[in-house]
Structures are given as C-alpha cells and as structure tokens.
Amino acid sequence: MDIDAYRYRPPKTNYLPHNIEIDDPLVQEYDIPLAKADDRENAIFFSKMKMAAQEYNIVRPKGYTVSYHATDEMEKHHFGQTHPMKPWRLTLTKSLVTSYGMPFAMDNYNTRHATYEELNAFHSSDYLDYLATAAPEDQPRDQDSEKEPKFNLGGSDCPLFHGLYDYCSMSAGTSLDAARKICNKQSDIAIAWGGGLHHAKKSEASGFCYINDIVLAILQLLRLYPRVLYIDIDVHHGDGVEEAFYSTDRVMTVSFHKYHPETFFPGTGGLEDNGPKSEHNPGAHHAINIPLNDGITDEQYENLFKTVIGSVNERFRPSAIALQCGADSLAGDRLGRFNLRVQGHGACVRYCKSLGVPMILFGGGGYTPRNVARAWAYETSIAIGAEASIPSTIPEHAPWRSHFIHDTLFPTLSQSLSEPRNNRNTEKRLREIVAHVNEQLRFVQHAPSVQNSIIPPDLGGIRDDVEDRLKEENEAHNEGLRKTREEGLGQAMEL
Ligand SMILES: [Zn+2]
C-alpha cells in the first residue's frame, strides 16, 4: 500500500505534534493557530504508521469489514473556553488510532456535511432554521438573562458558537454515512466517534447536543433492518433517542447510566420507565433503563451489561445494533461518576460485536479528552480484532503524546482519579435491576415480525396513528360507560 492508495485523506491540520505547552489539560487553549503539517512531515508520519501496522500485525479483519467515518473539520470547533465539551478529544483519538496503524485495517471515509433535508428527517424546520441563522454569542447567557432562550439555545449548556450549524451537520453527516455503509452492506461495523449526541430533541437542544445524529442514523437503519437495538453506555440517560422511538416496537432502547432525579442530568431513566404505559402502544416495554449509582466497577458493569444485553438479544433478536459509547462513564471523567476503566468500557463493545449483527459505534459524552481518546482507540482496535496485538504503551510517534500524561492506554484507577470514588452499587440492587428487566422482557413479543412497510421517516406518523387509535379506543370506552349509565338510569343522559 502506498500513500496514494491509502484511503484516509493524508494528514493535514493538527495531525502532527506541535510543541505547545498547555497548563491545564482540562481547559484547552483554542486560539493557538494550528500549524499545517507539510508534505514531508505527512510522509514521515505515514511511514511510521505503516511500520506500526506491520509491527502490531494490524491487518484487515477476515470475514467482515470495518469502516471509519471522520472529518478533521469537526475538531476545530469549540464551545467556549470553559465549556467541558472539547471537540479536540477527536484529535487525540485520531492520534492514537493512526499511530497504532489501525487505519490500515479499515475503510476510512472523510465525512461530508448532512444536508438540511437529512436533518429535517427528525428535527423540525423551525428549530433547524433558527439553528442555522442564530447569531453566535461569545459569552453564554446566564440563567436570569432577560432574553428568553429559544429552543434551549444560547445558555451555558448549549451555547451558540461560531460554526455551530457546520459542526452539527458534520456530526450528523458522520453518523449518516456510517448508517448508509451498514445499509448497503459495504460495512459490518461502522465507527462514528464524532456522533453520539443522544440528548438532542426534535425541536430542542439539550445537554451539549443540538442534532440527534443517532436518531437520524437509526431512521436509516430502519429502512433495511426490521429491528434495531439501541444501547447507550454514556454516564447520562439516552433520553433523546428513547423519546424519539418511544412509540415503536421496531427500536428497543437500553440505557445504562447514573440516575438521580434531582441532582444528575437529565434526571430521567428510572428503572420503572419502560416506555408507554398503555399496552395498546406498540412501544410499551421497549425502553429499558438501568439506573446506577456512583462508583460502579468494571466487574459489576460488565456482568450487568452482558446479562441485560444477553437477555434483550435473546428476546428482541435485533437485526442491527446502534451502540453509543459515551466515554464520560470512565473513571476520572470531569462530569462522570463511575469507576470504569478503559478495559471495562471496551468489554461492552466486544460483547456487542460477539452478537454478530451489523453495528454502528457512536461517540457521545466524555470530558477528560485523553481518556476519551484511550477508550475510543481501544474500541476501534476491538472492532478490527486487534485488541490483543496492540501494545499498551502509547507509540512514541503518537502526536500530542505528552497530553496523555501517563504513557499507557490503560491507566489504573489511581492514575485516573485523584481520590477513589465510593462504590454505591450493592449486589442486591444490581440483582433487582436484572429481575426487573427480565420481567419487562416477558412482555416483549418474541422477535416481533414487524411490517417493513412502516418505514421512517413516517415515524412521526406512527406516533400519530397510535395516538389516534388510543383516542378512538378511549372514546369507545367512554361511550360504553355512557350506555351502561343510561341503562342504569333508564333514560337518556344527553340533551
Ligand atoms: Zn454523557
């Protein structure tokens, strides 16, 4: 393979190490001009990548294809100096993925922007119009600002920054491209670390998420695959995706997250929240929530994950999987609360891969960039089946290497956390969670044979149908009651 045959665009901006001192790795300085690597630097880096691939035996996996969807353009955006979301974490991820030589085992695609029409498949036009035209604000508005935030835009969580619409449409484009490669069978595992923004709603930004790329990607998958299983291992509840597919039995959502109704965002996703309460609604029992407490360990999480997803897989028989790999569930995350290590997080990806159905891996949360990069690089190696052959020491030629602080892909808990977080998850509680999930799954029709004729983007239509049907049934029920009462009274009630 020579450099021209290498399908990833040759490294351009901020690919190579630049000696920039940053005091606080959590607060990234973005106003530093990122020097453009010249052709010679690119060629040197490329040859090191190639050598790494040979040394670590990075080859295309046998019997299946992995595709990697990314764009350098996303990395340049920033939400503001103090905002925890740092697109720069994608740069660090790329640093590890490329320096281990992993691109040689994958089809690498440079992502395009999603079009307005594509975003419109889920998001409302008035929301998109505002998102595309609202003026950027250098300072997020504070809570008691006189200006009412429209669509929840412009506050401290979802600031209006320069290039916002571009950023959102690239994130969505990444996930849509991944979904399309899965649908046309050009890929079996498609990786979209720039996506995974699970909180965004139809007409509202929420929790650092503006466009719900996951919903858009699942809508694509539903064109071909009868049943899609959405799994979310971000530390936050995957509320936006759950809500979007609330009334359908073609998508089952399973979210593992820290749950506290008052003190932890978004406050939803309790154990008893399993979709619509009415049995007449096809979406009933198709939302599974695994509420957890601070400090859960790799061992507990992995056991719970395999037990729950094993049962869900058995019952629901998904034909495709959408896995959101939010890395804020890792120990030492700036916003997270768990004690997961890179290995424990990655074990979920490995298990899903073992189920042998087409899968998209999305990014998501993750606010300590160096650890986000570790997790997503390790999970990329799992996708290509190279997790056992890559060395745990980060390659010497990895760009931005000093930003990883420790030179290992697998920091210990004490390396990730300044003080250990107490584990507040008892075995008894975890057993209760499993029992509840199994109880819910009893109501799920075994591998429901759904009609593919109901395909998105009519999903809104499905919900309307369901609501209309419920209304009719309700009216019929009331009519029945009225008649009974009339008969009891022996006279007409109405005038
Ligand atoms: Zn999160």
Task: Give distance in angstroms: CA of 471 to centre of ligand 1.
Answer: 36
Q: For 210-260, how does the pLDDT look when each residue is reduced to its tens digit (9 = 90+)? A: 999 999 999 999 999 999 999 999 999 999 999 999 999 999 999 999 999
CA-CA distance, 452 to 48, in Å (whole number)?
A: 48
Integer-rounded Cα Rg, in Å, for the chain is 24
User: Is residue 377 predicted with pLDDT exceeding 50?
Assistant: yes
User: Rounded to an integer, what distance in angstroms lies between the CA atom of residue 286 and that of residue 258?
Assistant: 20
Residue 461 Cα to ligand 1 middle (Å) = 30
Q: Which of 204, 216, 265, 278 is nearest to 238 (CA)?
A: 265
For the stretch 270-301, pLDDT in tens is: 999 999 999 999 999 999 999 999 999 999 99
Phi, psi (degrees; rounded to nearest 5) at 105: -100, 0
Q: Show me where the domains of the chain are located.
A: 39-457, 459-495
Amino acid at 132: A
Inter-CA distances, 78 with 26, 53, 135, 204, Å: 13, 32, 15, 20
* CA–CA distance, 254 with 398 (Å, rounded to integer): 35
- Is 367 labeled as ligand-binding? yes
Tell me the three state secondary structure of residue 210: coil
Q: Report pTM.
A: 0.84
User: pLDDT tier at 261 (50, 70, 90 boundaries)?
Assistant: very high
The answer to whether 382 and 349 have CB atoms below 8 angstroms apart is yes
**φ/ψ (deg, to 5) at 85:** -75, 115
**CA-CA distance, 394 to 407, in Å (whole number)?**
5
The reply to whether 465 sits in an annotated binding site is: no
- 236 alpha carbon – ligand 1 mean position (Å): 4
Q: Flag whether 126 is marked binding.
A: no
Write out the two tokens for 186: 């050009």
Average of pLDDT values for 46-59?
A: 95
What percent of the chain stands above pLDDT 70? Answer: 80
Residue 275 burial class via C-beta count within 10 angstroms: exposed 0-12, middle 13-18, buried 19 and up? buried
**157 is annotated as contributing to ligand binding:** yes
Distance from the CA of 237 to the center of ligand 1, in angstroms? 7
Q: How far is the CA of 165 from the centre of ligand 1 (A)?
A: 21
Q: Which residue has the higher pLDDT, 132 or 321?
A: 321
Dist. CA 402–CA 22, nearest whole Å: 10
Q: How far is the CA of 304 from the centre of ligand 1 (A)?
A: 19
- Residues 221-247 as b/e (b if ≥16 CB within 10 A, e otherwise) read bbebbbbbbbbbbbbbbbbbbbbbbbb
Fold of 39-457: Arginase; Chain A (3.40.800)
CB under 5 Å of ion ligand 1: residues:
234, 236, 326, 328, 365
Ligand 1 centre to CA of 441 (Å) is: 26
The annotation status of 38 as a binding-site residue, yes or no, is: no
**Amino acid residing at 398:** A
Cα of 485 from ligand 1 centre, angstroms: 53
Mean pLDDT of 143-150: 66
Residue 270 to residues 297, 394, 415, 433: CA-CA distances in angstroms? 20, 39, 32, 10
Which of 390, 385, 360 is closest to 374 using CA atoms? 390
pLDDT for 493? 35
Residues 184-210, mean pLDDT to the nearest whole number: 95
pLDDT of residue 297: 97
The owner of tokens 């507040």 is 424
Q: Are 459 and 219 in contact (CB under 8 A)?
A: yes
Active site residues: 199
The CA distances from residue 187 to 58, 184, 259, 326, in Å, are 18, 8, 35, 22
Residue 166 marked ligand-binding = no
Query: What's the gap in Å between 7 CA and the centre of ligand 1?
Result: 32
The neighbour count for residue 99, using CB atoms within 10 Å, is 21
